[in-house]
């Protein structure tokens, strides 16, 4: 239900996310482990693909590559699985952190592992939906791109609470459509907070996209051949260029983490009826307690 003062509270929820991350720095380890798992699984596959192109088919090394090829093909899937599990572990421990409990990497991983079917099915379903949207949108020029962006925005809003729902709701058979329905129901209960917070996260991401688009235009020479030549030769690998790259990556990570914390806080607000500290002290129930996830 929408309550008076919901919009200001939603901004407070988002601004307080970084405070939660400072108080519980272990939360940062989950996306770092996910990123390491992703690249750890992808790099051997790319290396094997590269070797297949440069090694002579009749050489002894070619036989070794053929033997190791199944392992190289399997590793990206293992990396994707670990990335999905780390996402679930983050949401589990984020809710715990908002309840005032210490964050535990092992506890979060065990909780995610116990719901591995739902996590994997959801991530595959989400990937397939995104891929099909881009595939169809790319067939219709500018109009298709606009439609793709609108569908992507709607999908992001509709699936806003799916991560916390998977980790907090009773275990059951994987049902991605049911997860979206539950997320949408919670979205209706907190419509003002969700929409404003979602827009706020988009605005915080704007500097990242401005820099990315500018770099892409420079690299393609769209801003002039001389500027493109200077960019590719000197600017990209200069101290200033590397500093900008590092700053963009750091800001992207912070925005993503803050968005995850905001999502968990709003999930608590929607399901418990209270706003966890430090998001809105005036509205917080001093004796609130996050309800325990139902037993399997």
- Say which residue, 69 or 77, is predicted with more confidence: 77
- Residue 171 has a pLDDT of 78
DSSP output for 249-286: HHHHHHHHHHHHHHHHHHHHHHHHSS--TTS-GGG--T
Cβ–Cβ under 8 Å, residues 263 and 161: yes
pLDDT for 168-199, tens place per residue?
888 777 788 999 999 888 877 665 555 555 55
Report the alpha-carbon distance of residue 92 to residue 108 in Å, rounded.
6
pLDDT for 210-244, tens place per residue?
666 666 666 555 555 555 555 655 566 666 667 77
pTM of the model: 0.74
| 261, two tokens | 């914390």
Question: Three-state SS across 64-100?
Answer: HHHHHHHHHHHHHHHHHHHHHHHHHHHHHHHHHHHCC
Q: Is pLDDT of 69 > 50?
A: yes
Cβ–Cβ under 8 Å, residues 178 and 105: no
- Residue 164 has a pLDDT of 92
Q: Is pLDDT of 35 > 70?
A: yes
- Residue 296 has a pLDDT of 47
Confidence of residue 106 (pLDDT cuts 50, 70, 90): very high
């Amino acid at each position: 239900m929408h309550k008076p003062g919901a919009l200001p509270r939603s901004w407070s929820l988002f601004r307080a996310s970084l405070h939660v991350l400072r108080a519980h720095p272990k939360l940062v380890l989950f996306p770092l482990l996910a990123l390491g798992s992703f690249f750890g699984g992808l790099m051997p596959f790319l290396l094997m693909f590269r070797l297949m192109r440069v090694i002579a088919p009749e050489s002894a090394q070619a036989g070794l590559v053929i033997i190791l090829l199944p392992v190289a093909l399997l590793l990206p899937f293992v990396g994707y699985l670990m990335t999905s599990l780390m996402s679930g572990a983050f949401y589990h421990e984020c809710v715990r952190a908002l309840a005032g409990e210490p964050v535990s990497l092992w506890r979060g991983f065990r909780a995610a592992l116990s719901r591995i079917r739902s996590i994997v099915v959801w991530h595959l379903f989400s990937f397939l939906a995104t891929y099909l949207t881009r595939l169809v949108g790319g067939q219709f020029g500018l109009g298709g791109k606009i439609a793709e962006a609108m569908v992507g925005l709607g999908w992001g809003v509709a699936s806003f609470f799916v991560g916390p729902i998977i980790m907090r709701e009773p275990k059951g058979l994987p049902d991605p459509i049911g997860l979206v329905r539950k997320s949408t129901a919670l979205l209706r209960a907190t419509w003002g907070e969700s929409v404003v917070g979602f827009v706020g996260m988009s605005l915080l991401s704007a500097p990242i996209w401005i820099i990315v688009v500018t770099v892409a235009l420079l690299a393609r020479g769209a801003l002039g051949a001389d500027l493109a030549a200077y960019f590719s030769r000197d600017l990209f690998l200069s101290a200033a260029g590397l500093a900008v790259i590092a700053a963009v990556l750091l800001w992207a990570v912070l925005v993503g983490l803050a968005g995850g914390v905001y999502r968990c806080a709003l999930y608590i607000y929607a399901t418990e009826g209270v706003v966890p500290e430090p998001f809105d002290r005036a509205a917080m129930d001093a004796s609130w307690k996050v309800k325990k996830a139902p037993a399997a």
